Amino acid sequence: ELKGMKATKSLSEDVVIGKRHVAALILARGGSKGIPLKNIKPLAGVPLMGWVLRAAVDSEVFDSVWVSTDHAEIKKVAEAWGAQVHQRSPEVSRDSTSSLETIQEFLEYHNEVDIVCNIQATSPCLHPFDVKEALKKITEDGYDSVFSVVRRHQFRWKEVDELSDEKTEAINLDPANRPRRQDWPGELCENGSFYFTTKDLIKTGQLQGGKSIYYEMLPEFSVDIDGDIDWPVAEQRVLRYGYPGKVVRLLFCNVSACLAEGINALSSNTRNTSAIHMLQEKQVEVILLTSSDDAVAQSLAAKLQKRTGCQVMEVGKKPLNDLQEVMKNKSLDWKHVAFMGFDQADEKLLKLAGLSAVPGDAPELASKAAKYICPLSRGSGAVWDFAELILLQKPMAKPQ
């Protein structure tokens, strides 16, 4: 994958500059007894695992980004989001397998790695700045392990058998001198978002140890998905606090993604054209793409350009070649580009764009390549839906 290659540096580079190879590693087993394939279940339109992979790749501090899995569908999603895949063995794919055992197997096959950051797929509000700052504690301050924590203000009590005469006792407060919240600093609790560990420490059978330190994350970014009951709440949290990726500056929209059975839906659908105008008002350029093989779209080109105010561009059978030239002329990176497609020909672009989408009625191959699946179908406002997503995320994103 082009995107995956971009997130990875060669081992020879590390040797030349004397730098330790830092790898991000997401453990994503397919046989979980909880939610089936939870790691790739859509959360606010994005596969759960996609949220942390986007943050890891965009942090630009990792020499490689990996997903360790035993499942073919998880492998496809991982590669679409810029990761390399380690095919884990059956021995470390059991319910009883620990994270440590899985990471140790990964290192056996990837001896070039010196520092591993085990990122939990179930922490979708991770941002690049958190892993950047945490890594400095190892590379600059000399720590062997760094793990994420969050500050909690919760008073804890000893659990007792309700059928016994034993009385409960306060664990972390004096009830006679109960402090006000603002007068109590709270306690630091692991939030499970990430664990940085040196290879040497992992070889001793530890993920936390040696010279160890915590990295405190803000509560709003500490979201942990551990059950279906959390999903609706998590979707609201991730839309507000999740890392949306680089700021979108350009949207390529395949006109066939907006047309329904030959009807000029984009031209006639006020909702879709309004979506394009919304993006333009927020300084997001929109370029509409038509295929040289699509006579209907070609006949609408002039009408589309007049109604939307967008450039309408004809592309050939390999649209990537045509769009690469546009990107070069505009000095843009794919991380700053959104793409909306529909069919198999769009697969590479859907994977390459920083943010990509397909209408809800898109073929399976395109849907799997896209980072977002619109709930609406072609001609029914799918462009509007995607535009809202772009604008919702745009204020949160900061150029890295």
Dihedral sign, Cα of residue 140, residue 145, residue 150, residue 152: negative
Active-site residue identified among 178, 180, 237, 307: 178
**DSSP per-residue string spanning 299-357:** HHHHHHHHHH--EEEEE-S-HHHHHHHHHHHHT--GGGEEEE--SGGGHHHHHHSSEEE
**Which candidate, 12, 31, 32, 11, places its Cα nearest to that of 23?**
11
Residues 338 and 349: their CA atoms lie apart, in Å, by: 9
User: What totals of helices (H) and strands (E) does the chain contain, helices first?
Assistant: 15, 15
Distance of CA 77 to the CA centre of its chain: 11
Look up residue 33 and give its DSSP letter: S
Has 249 been annotated as catalytic? no
What are 121's two structure tokens? Answer: 């797929």
Crossing angle between the packed helical segments 295-308 and 270-281, to the nearest 10 degrees: 50
Catalytic residue numbers? 178
